[in-house]
């Protein structure tokens, strides 16, 4: 049985889809939830699903190996960033090479980098007049949104799209593809 750790900063909708996908699976399970925000909805999901959850201390996250040890002690095979808004420190990337993945709500390399998340991404895509948007699932390295692309899926942008309607199209792609890619990487 492979162990998945999900890092999230928000409501946890992608985390819930991954948890649901692996419920009853003989391949893998979500065995740890990690967040940097005490008020994040992901903690409610963790409690409901009876998955251990940890609130990150910023100082320890960026200095030292507290969280590398935590992941190793929990025999984590894959770290999944599902709306986690901090850059992953190099010691964690080095401890889990090609075993940390992220989902980005746009087609990288456009609209990536520090501060490019959520509605900021969708506003930028619409302001640029792009004909399509989508998701990028990628490996994590020491830079924001820079690791090797695993999968990109697209959606069409219509003239009446708003950041909110585009977000819904992109989220549908996230919910469909993210659990499948996690499964593929663990198989």
- Assign residue 23 a region (left: φ > 0; alpha: ψ between -120 and 50; beta: otherwise): beta
Q: Is 115 annotated as a binding residue?
A: no
Q: Is 58 annotated as a binding residue?
A: yes
Residues noted as catalytic:
104
Q: How far is CA 33 from CA 42, 51, 53, 186, in A?
A: 8, 7, 5, 18
Q: Please, what is the Cα angle at 103 between 100 and 108, to 5 degrees?
A: 110
Q: Is 44 annotated as a binding residue?
A: no
Q: Is 102 annotated as a binding residue?
A: yes
Q: Is 162 annotated as a binding residue?
A: no
CB 99 within 8 A of CB 183: no
Residue 104 has φ and ψ, to the nearest 5°, of -120, 135
Sheet holding 132-139: strands in order across? 53-55, 28-35, 2-8, 78-81, 100-104, 132-139, 149-156
Binding site feature residues: 12-14, 58, 102
Binding site feature residues for (6R)-10-formyltetrahydrofolate: 58, 102
């Amino acid at each position: 049985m492979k162990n998945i750790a999900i890092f999230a900063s928000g409501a946890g909708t992608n985390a819930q889809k991954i948890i649901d996908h692996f419920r009853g699976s003989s391949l893998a399970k979500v065995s740890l939830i990690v967040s940097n925000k005490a008020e994040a909805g992901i903690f409610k999901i963790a409690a409901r699903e009876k998955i251990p959850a940890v609130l990150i201390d910023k100082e320890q996250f960026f200095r030292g190996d507290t969280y590398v040890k935590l992941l190793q002690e929990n025999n984590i095979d894959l770290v999944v960033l599902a709306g986690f808004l901090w850059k992953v420190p190099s010691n964690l990337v080095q401890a889990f090479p090609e075993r940390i993945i992220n989902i980005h709500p746009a087609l990288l390399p456009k609209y990536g980098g520090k501060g490019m998340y959520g509605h900021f991404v969708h506003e930028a895509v619409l302001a640029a007049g792009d004909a399509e948007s989508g998701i990028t699932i990628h490996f994590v390295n020491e830079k924001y949104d820079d690791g090797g692309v695993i999968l990109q899926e697209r959606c069409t942008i219509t003239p009446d799209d708003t950041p909110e309607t585009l977000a819904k199209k992109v989220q549908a792609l996230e919910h469909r593809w993210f659990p499948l890619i996690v499964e593929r990487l663990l198989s």
